[in-house]
Amino acid sequence: MTGFAEYDQFDALGLAELVRKKEVSARDLLDEAIRRREAVNPSINAIIHNMDELAYQAIDAGLPGGAFTGVPFLLKDILAAYKGVPMTHGSRAYRDYVPDYDSEMVKRFKQSGLVTFGKTNCPENAYVGVTEPLLHGPTRNPWNLERTPGGSSGGSAAAVAARIVPMASGGDGGGSLRIPGSCCGLVGFKASRGRNPYGPNAGEPWFGQVQEGILSVSVRDTAAALDVTNGPDIGCPSTAPLPSRPFLDEVTAEPGKLKIAWSREPLVRQGVLGEESVQALLKTVEQLKSLGHELTEVTPQLNKETLGHGHIMRMMCAAAADLREAKAVLGRRLQPDDFEPETWLIARFGESISAAAMEVVSRDLHAQRHVFENFMQDYNVFLTPTLSKPPVELGEFLVDGVDRLVSRVARHSSLGPIAKMLPMMLPELAKKNFDWVASTPAFNITGNPSVSLPLQWSAEGLPMGMMFTSRLFDDACLFRLAGQLEREFPWADKRPSLASY
């Protein structure tokens, strides 16, 4: 492998195999990953903190023997606490915060032999589906530098799409693995609720909607990563049943003839999807039929307003809790510029929502879980486009005009006026949030496993993911189907021109 020109021809498991065979060393791979970072990160702003010295030290100390021993890796800069390394959450309040512990997911990544050499960019507190925090600046999509890589795991997705690393960590509370997977031409898999641990300090983020995971170029990397991270830790609030066999084994198993429902409707708002997404969906339906699957166009009778407004209200309450937690963790009074105006706005709305109102929301959302799971008793898989249209331009979701004024006023207003504004602002916030991200939050609410696969491309040559969702805890079914689709309609050789090293 002269000069490591072949580095990006391998996925993470492929690189680990080279290390095991002693065809390359872990240090060789890290050198190459750093070379690539230095070449392209100034253009895409995916990696916001380097950990090179720690990475070389880990190699010199001897890496654990695991599925990914010696493979360079990056961590999303929220939830993934790495002892002694800053974790900013994309927020100016946390710019100097350094955790004194490893999160459970980071421990498991380390045990698998991964070599972490950096942290990736994310929006403040991971609230939105684009990655443009004031603290670190916007991350750009390697496929088109004027477009978003999605969010909230946008930094990780951009780094993988640029082939700096074959996979990187992320988390998904409303689509934050699947959205950037769609935008960047990657596999973005949200596991079933309770599949991966939250510990030791995260509790159950966003009312249990969040699942951490990875973004990768291959289905087998995603499966193998879930094999090394899944299972409860001490005090885990939600626990998925352990799989009957490794998820990696499912990738090469034939899925059989599946009953697949599909819909061209958005799931968390009214209206229609963009024409390019619909056409990409129809092409995917034909591909699935050609593989022998049974396809039925049908939409589950979910209450779209309940899902959309419920997700926003949960996010508001989480934002209010995030600001309270920041005050406790940082040990000081919060200043107006600690958080972005939009964060102050949704946090103040969250403070204005009563516990009784949130209990009603939770009951309504649990009812929607039953609606969807009952619907799925007749099908193995449910298919929709991941997003309503291709990756949007940078800045499209920035708050401006009256909304920005309201956001700034919210930092100083009492709860009374804020509470009165909530009924008026909630539909507008939902409309802004779900115009593009029209379906992914539904399956954070239901807890079902859901994956975005890079099966289609826009007229401009931008990736467009298709989202497949299966019954609760049936992650294995998705890996069997995803493995088949990857074999029949491969995507690994498709990469942005920026990734030509």
Is 439 assigned a catalytic role?
Answer: no
Distant-in-sequence, close-in-space partners of 406: CB < 8 Å, separation ≥ 6: 345, 421, 425
Q: Give me the catalytic one of 76, 110, 304, 389.
A: 76
Q: Give me the catalytic one of 103, 152, 156, 407.
A: 152
Instruction: Give the whole-angstrom CA distance, residue 447 versus residue 210.
Output: 9
Decide: residue 359, CB within 10 A, 0-12 exposed, 13-18 middle, 19+ buried.
Answer: exposed
Is 83 assigned a catalytic role?
Answer: no
Q: How far are the Cα atoms of 87, 183, 248, 379 from residue 300, in angstroms, in the given order?
A: 40, 26, 30, 11
Q: How far are the Cα atoms of 72, 174, 371, 470 from residue 247, in angstroms, in the given order?
A: 22, 24, 27, 15
Instruction: Give the whole-angstrom CA distance, residue 496 versus residue 463.
Output: 10
- Joined tokens for residue 441: 């939050």
Q: Do residues 385 and 439 touch, judged by C-beta distance below 8 A? A: yes
Is 21 assigned a catalytic role?
Answer: no
Secondary structure (DSSP) of 265-299: S-SSSSS---HHHHHHHHHHHHHHHHTT-EEEE--
Q: Give me the catalytic one of 176, 182, 263, 450.
A: 176
What order of strands is seen across the sheet that includes strand 47-50? Answer: 47-50, 115-120, 72-76
Question: Where do we find the tokens 């942005």?
Answer: 496
- Joined tokens for residue 10: 């391998």
Instruction: Give the whole-angstrom CA distance, residue 133 versus residue 121.
Output: 8
Instruction: Give the whole-angstrom CA distance, residue 41 versus residue 47.
Output: 7
Q: Of 176, 136, 173, which is closest to residue 156 (Cα–Cα)? A: 176
The catalytic residue positions are 76, 152, 176
